[in-house]
Amino acid sequence: MEFLLLGFFTSLSLILAIGAQNIFVIEQGLKKQYTFIVCFICSISDCFLIFVGIFLFYYFNQFFTLKIELIFNILLVIFLIYFIYSKIKLRIKKN
């Protein structure tokens, strides 16, 4: 039950962020082209990917003795540092 709640709140947090998929859905809605089918496919794929991510995380956390949470957090920090560095570098090149 806790994974269901985790998935629900994770999906709510992802909906708040405007990403490429959300912009595509908004564009299709404004054009009035295939609005229902686009929303349906995007929502089904989001649900599928969220559940796969949660269950894979549970699987890795259950069967590996290493703390997978710690590894994911370290990888996240490395990614964020690289992302921020590349954005700063890009900003410096523009000036």
Looking at the 3D structure of the chain, how many domains does it have? 2
Distance CA 38, CA 26 (A): 10
Q: What is the pLDDT of residue 38?
A: 92
Q: Are residues 26 and 50 in the same domain?
A: yes
Alpha helices in the chain (DSSP H): 2-16, 20-31, 35-63, 68-94
Q: Are residues 79 and 33 in the same domain?
A: no
Please say if the pLDDT value at position 25 is more than 90: no
Q: What is the pLDDT of residue 94?
A: 74
Q: Are residues 3 and 22 in the same domain?
A: yes
Instruction: Name which of 5-14, 19-28, 55-64, 75-84 the model is least confident about.
Output: 5-14
pTM over 0.75? The answer is: no
Q: Are residues 43 and 72 in the same domain?
A: no
Q: Are residues 48 and 71 in the same domain?
A: no
DSSP state of 92: H
Domain with 21, as residue range(s), is 1-63
Q: Are residues 95 and 79 in the same domain?
A: yes
The tens digit of pLDDT for each residue in 31-80 reads 999 999 999 999 999 889 888 888 887 887 777 766 777 787 788 889 88
